[in-house]
A and B are shown apart, each in its own frame.
Chain A
């Protein structure tokens, strides 16, 4: 996975290769796909949990000032 294993060899080359991260030149597209899956997945998971939370709270029909009973003193 290591792109650089010896800095002296790497920097003394006639043309220094700029990309030095692990998997340079072979993994970028896979990493982007992984990132997009995480991004979209986050929306799906949080949208579902937010809908459940809002529905649950709406059913309880609290009044506009009921929250004042829950203000903590600590």
Chain B
């Protein structure tokens, strides 16, 4: 950096993403509080540690291969040519945004005076990875082994979500070109895939002991500490602000010859697809979709705090696919629709298929995300999916416009192809190894039994010594 204005722009962008990472950390704090609040006393510490240890596991694997996958896989490979090198192979050449620069042994994956952006961008995406894994974590509490969860967290956090991000979130992604896929704030690329993955695992894992009666009727195992759940969800809302900011580029000249080539400078904030939006507008939409979710959730759950708070989250998730362009009232109504469908589907699936989703994660993230993608296809029908070009569906060399069919197919890819199926297969493998579920006697006694027993002995010893 040798000129002051260029340095200011670069350092501002670096600091911008740095702040989003710090804010997004609150999502994980919230998830930890939420899970501890939702689990029973005898499982608390293991529940907390399970969710905590996904941080290092996903982080190190994101460093080793997750980030590389994002930059290597936009073409499929083999589904649509890259606009950078016109090849449909993995992007590992010498081009500017090639995965070659993001292999763990390159000089850009470290402190490098010539690169102020890669690290914070890496970290912002990593925080998305934690979120994807943490969504799965809540659904499967009290009966999965920490080992199995670690493997599943790495799979969703450092492999499958990053593949879907390369396909449907990268500016060069094949889903934009062939389908006109649009998902500005990750209804699908984070939430639908994580919800689908959780469902795939739950099918194999089975319900908690006592969840269903002998005749198959579900029993409610409500949150042990609703106040911890409340604070947890407030923190997740807070972190979601950072998530929204992190999905944008804060200041960018889309008129640059290397981009749209407008023939004039046009500085703007952009979404992840490098198409214009404003931080101001998305802030309104964030709050209006949160409000829509809360309003609908309060009514449909009859004021139950657990579901009302979760519905606020589901409202945002449902509107997120198009919140870069929606009117705030559209965002609110879409949030309401998503909540009603997700809530109804949760209880229908629970009764019909005996699925025990302990925190409603499949509904709040998966179903609301899928509904949001589909609605986006209708409301934003005809908008360009990219600024680089506009073309027909299935063309491949240009970018299709946003459309209902493309969004429907995209939702299927996110929830089923990259979510449910991998989750199911991996859970089957782990189950076959005898590593998926904790023994029945441990589940009954409580994962924390020995910890609690030791603490009680310590208490007695200290008490005896002080008499």
- In the complex, A43→B63 CA distance in Å? 17
Q: Mask for A49-74, Cβ within 8 A of B = 1, else 0?
A: 01101111111111110110111111
> Which candidate, B105-113, B227-235, B286-294, B418-426, is the interface stretch facing chain A?
B105-113
Known A64-B444, A72-B456; judge A18-B146 contact (CB<8 A): no
Interface assignment of B354: CB less than 8 Å from any CB of chain A: no
Known interface pairs A18-B114, A29-B105, A54-B442; A35-B64 also in contact (CB < 8 Å)? yes
- Contact segment of B305-313, B355-363, B408-416, B446-454: B446-454
User: Which residues of the partner chain A approach B441 to less than 8 Å between Cβ atoms?
Assistant: 57-62
Is A72 in contact with B41, judged by CB distance below 8 angstroms? Answer: no
The CA of A74 and the CA of B63, in the complex, are separated in Å by: 42
Say whether B105 contacts A67, CB under 8 Å.
no
1/0 contact trace for B435-467 toward A, CB 8 Å?
100111110111011101101101100100000
B438 touches A54 (CB 8 A): yes
Give the CA-CA distance A50 to B439 in the complex, in Å.
Answer: 12
Known: A18-B115, A32-B104, A35-B64. A64 touches B456 (CB 8 A): no
Bound-state Cα–Cα, A28 to B111, Å: 12
Number of A positions contacting B (CB below 8 A): 41
Cβ contacts A8-29/B at 8 Å (1 or 0 each): 0000000011111100110011
Q: How close is A71's CB to chain B, nearest CB, in angstroms?
A: 7
Q: Report which of A28, A66, A67 forms a contact with B107, defined as CB distance below 8 A.
A: A28
Chain B residues with Cβ below 8 Å from A66 are 445, 449
Shortest beta-carbon distance from A20 to chain B in Å: 6
User: Which residue on B lies nearest to A17, using beta carbons?
Assistant: B113
CB distance from A27 to the nearest CB of B (A): 9
Q: A29–B110 Cα gap in the complex (Å)?
A: 13
Residue in contact with B448 in the complex, picked from A17, A55, A58, A67, CB distance below 8 Å: A67
**Residues of chain A within 8 A of B455, CB atoms compared:** 70, 72
**0/1 per residue, B22-46, Cβ < 8 Å to A?**
0000000000000000000110000
Count of B residues near A, CB < 8 Å?
41
Smallest Cβ-Cβ distance to A53: which chain B residue:
B450
A66 to B444, CA, bound (A): 9
Residues of B with C-beta under 8 A to A59: 441
B147 at interface, CB cutoff 8 A? yes
Chain A nearest CB: distance from B264 CB in Å?
32
CB of B150 closer than 8 Å to a CB of A: yes
Residues of B within 8 A of A69 (CB): 456
B278 CB–A CB distance under 8 Å: no
- B330 in contact (CB, < 8 A): no
Partner of B42, one of A39, A56, A67: A67
Write out the residue numbers on chain B whose beta carbons fall within 8 Å of the beta carbon of A19. Answer: 107, 110-113
Given contacts A18-B115, A43-B150, A57-B450, contact A63 B107 (CB under 8 A): no
State the CA gap A36–B146 with chains docked (Å): 20
Residues of A within 8 A of B439 (CB): 54-55, 57-58
Among B113, B146, B438, B449, which residue has its beta carbon within 8 angstroms of that of A67?
B449
Q: Say which residue of A20, A46, A51, A54 sits within 8 Å of B112 (CB atoms).
A: A20
Could you say which of A21, A28, A72 contacts B459, with CB atoms under 8 Å apart? A72
Least CB distance, A52 to chain B, in whole angstroms: 11
In the complex, are the beta carbons of B64 and A62 less than 8 A apart? no
Q: Which residues of B contact A17 (CB under 8 A)?
A: 113
Nearest B-chain residue to A11, judged by Cβ:
B113
Q: How far is the CB of B449 from chain A (nearest CB, A)?
A: 5
CA distance A55 to B147 in the complex (A): 14
Q: Which residues of B contact A51 (CB under 8 A)?
A: 147
CB nearest to A39 among chain B residues? B60
Residue of B41, B63, B449 with highest tally of chain A CB at under 10 A = B449
Having A18-B107, A20-B112, A61-B441, one finds 16 other A-B pairs with CB under 8 Å, namely A16-B114, A18-B112, A28-B104, A31-B105, A32-B105, A39-B64, A46-B150, A57-B450, A58-B441, A60-B441, A60-B445, A62-B444, A67-B445, A70-B449, A70-B456, A74-B462
30 contacts between A and B (CB under 8 A): A16-B113, A18-B107, A18-B112, A18-B113, A18-B115, A19-B107, A20-B112, A25-B107, A28-B110, A35-B60, A35-B63, A36-B64, A39-B64, A43-B151, A46-B146, A46-B147, A47-B147, A50-B147, A53-B450, A54-B438, A54-B439, A55-B439, A57-B441, A58-B440, A58-B442, A60-B441, A60-B445, A61-B445, A62-B441, A63-B444
CB-CB nearest 4 A-B residue pairs: A18-B114, A62-B445, A70-B452, A19-B107
